[in-house]
Amino acid sequence: MIVHCNGIDIFYEVRGSGAPLLMLHGNGETHAIFDESASLLSRCFTVYTPDTRGHGASSTVSEYHYQDMASDVICFIQALGLARPMLYGFSDGGITALLIAQQRPDLVSRVIASGANACPEGLTEDFFAEIRAAEARKHDPLLSLMLTEPHMDERALAAISVPVYLLAGEHDVVRKEHSKWLAKVINCPLKVLKGHNHDSYVTHSTMIANEILKILGISDENAG
């Protein structure tokens, strides 16, 4: 399906029934990374999985900014008339979800974010160096995005009024200290998944679906 939002076309899939759940993918990916988890979650929710601007079947763009992505999702929620959906965001999607929670808490019911950082310095030194070297070779605007953004204001993070739950892998590309700081500033839980990296529990996995159900207190039996 296609919806025109914020001056671009956003491609999305929808499945299931129940309260709306919007799942936001990460940098360089598409909604397809959630196929397995969305299938499971659709037993309890109406699951919306859009492609971010410049990704998948959504409109191409020449540059990327997290604020534009947040504005796209805000417009998406309004265009489809979604009643305070829950947002799950992975990596760039988690950053986007946190920005929306700061700016439009009236539009969402809660946020669950995996592997999100509030600033480029929140990334590990090794990963930042890897991205910087790749950007120097490829001049890819998606890589430039990670090197230069986001820059979340601590006061705005602390003022988030909707429930937030953070997840991270034990071997994430987001520094452990940064994830702990982010949880402290927002005053929200943080769960570190042992043995996992940035995306091993998210991409083409039902594990993230099960984690979301646990956070919400929904049993496997209720999920079908």
- Every domain of the chain and the residues it spans: 2-122+150-216
Contact 108, 85 (CB under 8 A): yes
In tens, the pLDDT along 80-115 reads 999 999 999 999 999 999 999 999 999 999 999 999
List b or e across 15-25, with b for residues whose CB sees 16 or more CB atoms inside 10 angstroms. Answer: ebeeebbbbbb
Rounded Cα distance, 80 and 174, in Å? 33
What is the rounded distance in angstroms from the CA atom of residue 178 to the CA atom of residue 155?
Answer: 16
Q: For 179-210, how does the pLDDT look when each residue is reduced to its tens digit (9 = 90+)?
A: 999 999 999 999 999 999 999 999 999 999 99
Domain 2-122+150-216 has CATH 3.40.50.1820: yes
Please tell me the pTM assigned to this model.
0.96
pLDDT class of 130 with cuts at 50, 70, 90? very high
Would you say residue 222 has pLDDT above 60? Answer: no
Q: What are the residues whose beta carbons fall under 8 Å from the beta carbon of 187, sequence distance 6 or more?
A: 158
Q: Return the axis-axis angle of helices 66-80 and 92-103, rounded to nearest 10°.
A: 70
Per-chain mean pLDDT for the chain: 96
- Give 43's pLDDT tier (boundaries 50, 70, 90): very high
The pLDDT value recorded for residue 141 is: 97
Token pair recorded at residue 216: 């919400």
Q: Show the tokens assigned to 202.
A: 């998210």
